[in-house]
Amino acid sequence: MPPIVQRPLSYLRRLARLDMDVFEDIRGDASATIPALVIALAGLVLLGLGGWLWWVISGLSDVPTVFVKTVLLGGAFGFGAWLVWLLVIYAVLHRVSGLAIPVEQLLRTAGFAASTLVIALGMAIPSISFGVGLVAVAAWVGTTHVAVERTVGRGGGDVLIANLAGFAAWACIMSLLASGTNQIGPGPFLAESIWDAVTSVNVTFN
């Protein structure tokens, strides 16, 4: 197996074992930049796929159309919003603490952190689908926080604020994309699109 494949797989195995020290190695590995971007995109596609599986199991209509919207478009838009998340982290830390994070190191560590989104495939399990989606996103936020800490070289309130601000930007963008007619928001954001469709109908209760 070529090193360009073997090394990222080794990093992913360590992350699966919850070895957070792996971010130290990822940060300094210049060859991990492209694999990190691929993993981030794949993670967001998996988030969309998990939501789509929930849609299918729920017996909802327009299955092929929703696949294109939430998996393909949702993954692409989610990836773009993820880059905004990292930009917010960089801007907040630079503004609050005067830190200038090497962008390529942040891309590498945060990219591998997105591998936790594989949990979203559990949304195919009936009755707990929405909860699994939330757990997947929460795990992603937590792992990204560790990744940012290891990239910066320390923890602290400013790092936490920067990561939460970045996630807030990502979540707001995804929320804006989820509507009753356009189910582009991946994972648990599909539930928001259904809620929007329901609330957009005028219903009178006697």
pLDDT at res. 197: 58
Give the sign of the dihedral formed by CA 103, CA 107, CA 109, CA 110: positive
pLDDT at res. 202: 46
Query: Which residues, given as ranges, of the chain have pLDDT below 50?
Result: 202-206
Structural domain spans, the chain: 3-199
pLDDT at res. 203: 40
* H-assigned helices in 114-206: 129-152, 157-177, 189-199
* Cβ partners under 8 Å of residue 92, min gap 6: 158, 161, 162, 165, 166
CA distance 25 to 15: 12
* Cβ partners under 8 Å of residue 15, min gap 6: 22, 112, 115, 116, 143
Q: Can you name the residues that pair with 178 across neighbouring β-strands?
A: 183
Tell me if 83 sits within 8 A of 107, measured CB to CB: no
